[in-house]
């Protein structure tokens, strides 16, 4: 079955680096457990930062949590609860930097881990750019599949809002 698919988004990148099955489920509009604690925390953080005047910036391929300018340098911020998903968060932010770069906008990134009260600077390198291009191509192939890949246990499964979907039979 062919599905019309919009371009890859920052959220797709995030899921790709966590679980390709979860990426497929999200891309095919199969919603996770909406009462899952982590889903609720994500909604809370989004609402909390939105009510503090920190509106998200929509760039078409995703919504950047915050953009600021410091000493003439544009800084794109991605806000996460913790660094538990550091690699996926980093690549999501790199993807936004890559998309902005394609628009002619030069920026650096900043990951903010709210629970840990720390920030991490992120810059798009040529190696990261190549890794992103490969991930984007892979994501396009994954979402074309008619069924998701078989579940694979990872360190993230215990906290996943899809855990019952993947592991109900065990």
- Predicted confidence (pLDDT) per residue in 43-61, tens digit: 555 555 554 445 667 676 7
Going by C-alpha positions, the residue among 27, 58, 29 that lies closest to residue 140 is 27
User: Structural domain of residue 43, as residue ranges?
Assistant: 10-167
Assign residue 77 the CATH number of its domain.
Answer: 3.90.320.10
Residue 135 to residue 48: CA distance in whole angstroms? 31
Q: In this prediction, what percent of the chain has a pLDDT beyond 70?
A: 79
Task: Let me know if residue 119 belongs to a domain.
Answer: yes
Do 75 and 107 touch, CB atoms closer than 8 A?
Answer: yes
By residue count, the chain amounts to: 170
The total number of structural domains in the chain stands at 1
pLDDT at 106 over 80: yes
Nearest residue to 110 (alpha-carbon basis) of 135, 73, 136, 84: 73
Give per-residue pLDDT as tens, 122-166.
999 999 999 999 999 999 999 999 999 888 888 888 888 787 778
| Angle subtended by helix axes 86-102 and 126-144, to nearest 10 | 100
Q: What is the pLDDT of residue 40?
A: 54
Mapped onto helix, strand or coil, the DSSP state of residue 100 is helix
């Amino acid at each position: 079955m062919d599905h019309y698919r919009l371009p890859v988004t920052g959220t797709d990148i995030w899921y790709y680096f966590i679980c390709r099955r979860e990426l497929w489920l999200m891309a095919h509009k199969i919603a996770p457990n909406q009462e899952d604690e982590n889903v609720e925390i994500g909604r809370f953080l989004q609402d909390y930062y939105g009510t503090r005047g920190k509106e998200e910036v929509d760039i078409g391929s995703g919504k950047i949590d915050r953009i600021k300018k410091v000493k003439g340098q544009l800084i794109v911020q991605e806000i996460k609860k913790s660094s538990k998903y550091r690699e996926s968060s980093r690549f999501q932010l790199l993807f936004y930097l890559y998309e902005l770069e394609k628009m002619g906008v030069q920026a650096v990134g900043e990951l903010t881990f709210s629970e840990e009260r720390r920030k991490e600077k992120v810059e798009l390198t040529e190696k990261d750019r190549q890794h992103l291009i490969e991930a984007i191509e892979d994501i396009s192939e994954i979402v074309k599949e008619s069924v998701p890949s078989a579940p694979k246990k990872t360190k993230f499964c215990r906290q996943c809002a899809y855990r019952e979907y993947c592991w109900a039979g065990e």
